[in-house]
Structure 1
Amino acid sequence: MSDATSPTPRAPWTAIYLTAVVVLLAILAFLVWATPVAEDGAKDWFAPMITGGWMAWTFPVALFFWVIGSLLVTMTVLAIRFPETPRLGVLRIETTRGDRLFISLLGSAFLCLGWLFFFGGPLFWALMLCLVYAAAVFRWV
């Protein structure tokens, strides 16, 4: 005889969400803390974080990789919590959330390169264009 009133075991999603947010914010806080301080006592956001390193690890570069990592963690948690079936968009190919993220990141890279070629820096308006492009990709592709 089975007990019909016993609830099925559920994952503690609130704890998982909060843990992911706390870990990502702790990493971001560490990056801000590790940013070099100039002689006048202010943060030097564009100074190398690792002196003599093989790559120019400045805060904007580290922030870029933090954003990509945060997107991957978010997409992983969403894929586990809310599995989806691929959908057919305007490109007539089946895509999932991860596919649309990849398409939007790749397209955004080309948009930024085109912006640099035609207009030069700064990339603030290119970032706005990339956000609109990503929203369109997630909506219609």
Structure 2
Amino acid sequence: MSDAAIPTHKRIAWPAIYALAVLLMGAVLALLVWATPVKDGARDWTAPMVPGGWMAWTFPVALFFWVIAGLLVLFTILAIRFPETPRRGILRIETTRGDRLFISLLGSAFICLGWLFFAGPPLWWGLALCLVHAAAVFRWV
């Protein structure tokens, strides 16, 4: 059915929804950067954002949760805009995009924990392994 056949009050302005999502996530990111402490005229990216707080809310931790929130917003918009039917992969279970995102995030958490246990703090190669894992999950699971 073409857009011309859909009544005017039922048309969805997808570009406006995309722009609103980008603006909202950009505003939250700008707020996080603004809230990052400044020390000696430069941003101290690893300093606590809430001094004396119960959790080490540093910019990298906040950025991690911002990325997760961005993924959830993106996948929600994709699920509404382009609905999909579940498919079976090598695990022989039906999965949707959201299921595969959850599986890849959960697997990435275990990969990072294992990397920290066996290799130590620099997680860059662990992150690369997580991206390969996520690509494999989205392709074959």
Alignment TM-score > 0.5, same fold:
yes
Q: Give the 5 Å matches for 1:1-141.
A: 7-8=5-6, 9-38=10-39, 40-141=40-141
Q: How many residues align?
A: 136
Question: Take 2:46 and 2:99, find their aligned partners in 1: how far apart are those partners?
Answer: 33
Deviation at 1:7, TM superposition (A): 2.6
Deviation at 1:119, TM superposition (A): 0.4
- Per-residue CA deviation, residues 36-91 of structure 1 (Å, 9 max, x unaligned), is 001x2111001110112111100011001000100000010000001111000011
Deviation at 1:6, TM superposition (A): 5.1
Shift of the 77–116 alpha-carbon distance from structure 1 to 2, 3 Å rule, reads same
Which of the two has greater helix per residue?
2
Question: Take 2:70 and 2:30, find their aligned partners in 1: how far apart are those partners?
Answer: 14
- Per-residue CA deviation, residues 79-131 of structure 1 (Å, 9 max, x unaligned), is 00011110000110000001000000000000001100110011011111101
TM-score, normalised on structure 2?
0.93
Question: Take 1:6 and 1:70, find their aligned partners in 2: how far apart are those partners?
Answer: 32
Question: Take 2:18 and 2:67, find their aligned partners in 1: how far apart are those partners?
Answer: 17
TM-score, normalised on structure 1?
0.93
| Letter paired with 1:29 | A
| Letter paired with 1:65 | F
Gaps of 5+ in 2: none
The residue matched to 2:11 in structure 1 has which SS?
coil
The residue matched to 1:57 in structure 2 has which SS?
coil
Gaps of 5+ in 1: none
RMSD (Å), alpha carbons: 1.2
Identity score, percent: 74
Question: Take 1:140 and 1:55, find their aligned partners in 2: how far apart are those partners?
Answer: 37
Runs of 4+ in 1 over 2 A off after TM superposition: none
